[in-house]
Structure 1
Amino acid sequence: MRNTARWAATLGLTAATLCGTLTGSAHAAPAAPASLYAPSALVLTTGHGESAAAVNPARAVTLTCAPSASGSHPAAARACAELRAAGGDFEVLAGPGGALCTREYDPVVVTVDGVWQGRRVSFERTWSNECVKNSSGSVLFAF
């Protein structure tokens, strides 16, 4: 009887030690490198109309900038570089361009929603026509 109790105690301590070691090593693993970056993931839409509320988007793209540029945006790396250079200020990138455009009124609206460097962002801009939108020179809005 005494040997049975010793064996049971030994097995119990061995199991606890093994399980404790396995559990401890799972928590002690270093974090993945991706967690070192603040998230930067955006959804951009465009459509014809005076506001995003009144229009169904004609096109939507995704843009992820951290830890590396990716998404369905046609020039993801350049768009992320522009955003970083502008400090995440969409107004700077949507500013007036130097192109000569017709005075045709066919409004184009672009929206940007998501997270930029860990903070929630929402942006909407309406241009009088496609030419004026493209004259801003920003790759971010060229999709």
Structure 2
Amino acid sequence: MARTRLLFACLALAAPLVPATAQAAPLTALLPASGLTLSVQPERGTPSTTQLNCEPAGGAHRHARQACDQLMPVEGDFRKLREAGAMCTMELNPTKATLRGKWRAKRIDFQQVYSNPCVLRANTGKVFDF
């Protein structure tokens, strides 16, 4: 009984030593506002997948900042992107592009097949250029 009282007395004395300003940041402040999983699967070639986070830009995408910068003005709708001056050959290599995740509070689940990887990049800017 005496040990319990001593323990509570020590805890009561130590409590004011803990700074009042030491608060954990809310979990939502640590998560990116947008997180997307991107996949490219050419009929002939190696499939690849990456993660793109925006606000703040990051993830494994090698052009994360540029891709996020292109997605901001179109509110995450990468179908509104076009690579200015892009020229592609007429090679037939059907390439499936898949995008899943969230853009701000909106869920995204999209899949489309392009005639070849160049046409994919020409139509989606830096988003699928990883």
Cα gap change, 1:37 to 1:62, in 2 (>3 Å): closer
- Taking the aligned partners of 1:26 and 1:120, their CA distance within structure 2 comes to 38
| Matches for 1:26-45 after TM superposition, within 5 Å | 29=23, 31=25, 35=29, 39-45=33-39
2:53 to 39, 49, 64: 64
TM-score (ref. length: structure 2): 0.70
Cα distance, 1:30–1:134 mapped onto 2, change above 3 Å? closer
Name the CA distance, whole Å, in 1 between partners of 2:33 and 2:84: 30
CA contact (8 A) 1:97 1:136 kept: no
C-alpha deviation, 1:135, in angstroms: 2.2
TM-score (norm 1): 0.65
Stretches of structure 2 that go unaligned for 5 or more consecutive residues are none
Q: What do you get for the CA RMSD once the two structures are aligned?
A: 3.8
Which residue among 9, 12, 22 is the counterpart of 1:14?
9
Identity, in percent, stands at 31
The DSSP-based 3-state class of the residue aligned with 2:59 is coil
Q: C-alpha deviations, 1:100-119, integer Å up to 9, x for none? A: 54444321111111222143
- Report the Cα distance in structure 2 between the residues aligned to 1:32 and 1:77, rounded to whole angstroms: 25
How many residues matched?
128
Partner of 2:79: 91
SS at match of 2:58: coil
Q: Cα deviations across residues 45-100 of structure 1 (Å, max 9, x unaligned)? A: 10125xxxxxxx7011111113x21122121100011111111112212x697645
* Structure 1 segments unaligned to the other structure (5+ residues): 50-56
Corresponding position of 1:139 = 126
Give the structure 2 partner of residue 110 of structure 1: 97
Which of structures 1 and 2 has the bigger CA Rg? 1
* 1:20-49 deviation digits (Å, cap 9, x = unpaired): x47x97897152596176531111110125
Runs of 4+ in 1 over 6 A off after TM superposition: 7-10, 24-28
Q: Which amino acid aligns with 1:86?
A: V
Who is 1:47 aligned against?
41
The secondary structure found in structure 2 opposite 1:41 is strand
In structure 2, relative to structure 1, the CA distance for the partners of 1:111 and 1:26 (3 Å cut) is: farther
3-state SS of the aligned residue for 2:123? coil
| Corresponding residue number in structure 1 for 2:116 | 129
Match of 1:54 in 2: none
Instruction: Judge conservation of contact 2:96–2:111 (CA < 8 Å) in 1.
Output: yes
